[in-house]
Amino acid sequence: MSEHKSRFLIKQRALLKGYLITMAKQNKLYGLQYKEEIKKELDRYGYKPTHSEIYKSLHELMEDGTLKQIKRKKEGAKLQTVMIYLIEDKGKAELYMKQLKVELDRCYGLLGKAIADFYS
Amino acid sequence: MSEHKSRFLIKQRALLKGYLITMAKQNKLYGLQYKEEIKKELDRYGYKPTHSEIYKSLHELMEDGTLKQIKRKKEGAKLQTVMIYLIEDKGKAELYMKQLKVELDRCYGLLGKAIADFYS
DNA sequence: CCATGAACACGCTGTTCATCG
DNA sequence: CGATGAACAGCGTGTTCATGG
C-alpha cells in the first residue's frame, strides 16, 4: 500500500482487508459471513463484495501472517466444516490499519476536493 | 455512469471528465494543458493524470457530442497546431455533471463510512 | 444447497510506440 | 522537443467452473 508515485483511488481489496481485520478482532467468522457483514455495512452505498474478492483478501492476509485460519464445525443440522479467520499477528494488523488510514484520508480528501471544485 | 448493480469507487476517467467539462466551460485549453491544470488541483492528493487518460477522456466526450475540437495555432515561436476543446452541447455537459454528483456523493459517503467504521 | 477455492475473461489504465509540426 | 494519438501490456476484479460437505 505504500511507495507509489501516483495513484487514483484505493483499491477495493485494500479496503476489504480493513473490514476483515477490524471484524476478525471482534468476532470469529468464516468467509461467507465476512461477505455478508461487509455487505450489510456498505450495501446502501451501492457496493456489495463478491465471494471471490473476500477469499482473495483473506488469503493474502494469511500469506503475510496477519490472519490465521482454523477449521470449525458449522452449527446446525448440516455440520459442515468452515474456515474461521482470526488475528495471527496483532502488530501487523495494527500496522495495516494505520497505513490504511493514511490512504483512506487521502482518497477522502481527493473526492472532497473534486466535489468542491465542481459544485461550489 | 448509470444503472450498475454494484460498484466500488468511481473510475478515474469519469472524474477526469468532470474536470474537463468544468474547465472547458471557462477556458480554451488544449490537451496537455488540461493535464497540467488537473495535476495542479490534485497533485497534493497523490494523483497525477497521464496524457493517455486525458486524451481518451476528451475523445469520449467528443464522441457523445459533449465537447468539440477546433484547431488553433499555438502561441510562441514554434507556431505548432494544437487541439482546443470546447463545450459542444451545454445540456449534455450539465447532465453529466449532475449525474457525476450522485456518484461522487456515493463514493464520498462510502469512504466516510469506512473511516468511521475503522477509526472511531 | 452452502462453503471454499481456483481458473478464466474482461475492463481500466499506465507505458510505449508512432506521426506531425 | 511538444503535442496528439494509437497500440500494447499488466493488473484488478467479476464470472464461471470445480470440489467437498
Nucleotide D6: nearest residue by CA–C1'?
Answer: B52
Q: Which residues of A touch B7 (CB under 8 A)?
A: 46-47
Q: Where are the alpha helices (DSSP H) in B1-120?
A: 12-24, 31-42, 51-63, 90-119
Which chain B residue has its CA at the smallest distance from A38's CA? B114
Alpha carbons B29 and B24: distance in angstroms, whole number: 7
Alpha carbons B43 and A110: distance in angstroms, whole number: 10
Tell me if B115 and A100 make a contact (CB, 8 A cut-off): no
A59-105 pLDDT per residue, tens: 999 999 999 999 988 776 667 889 999 999 999 999 999 999 999 99
Cell numbers for A43: 450495501
Q: Where are the alpha helices (DSSP H) in chain A?
A: 12-24, 31-42, 51-63, 90-119
Q: What is the pLDDT of residue B27?
A: 86
B42-92 pLDDT per residue, tens: 999 999 999 999 999 999 999 999 999 999 887 766 678 899 999 999 999
pLDDT over 70 at B1, yes or no: no
Between B3 and A67, name the one with better pLDDT: A67
A10-56 pLDDT per residue, tens: 999 999 999 999 999 998 899 999 999 999 999 999 999 999 999 99
Q: Centre a 10 Å sphere on the Cβ of residue B120 and count the other Cβ atoms it contains.
A: 5
Alpha carbons B7 and A12: distance in angstroms, whole number: 10
Nucleotide C16: nearest residue by CA–C1'?
Answer: B52
Q: Which residues contact A9 (CB under 8 A, 6 or more apart)?
A: A107, A110, A111, B9, B10, B12, B107
Q: What is the pLDDT of residue A78?
A: 67
Q: What is the pTM of this model?
A: 0.91
- Residue B66, Cα to own-chain centre: how many angstroms? 12
Alpha carbons A30 and A40: distance in angstroms, whole number: 16
Q: Which residues of B touch A7 (CB under 8 A)?
A: 46-47
pLDDT over 80 at A2, yes or no: no
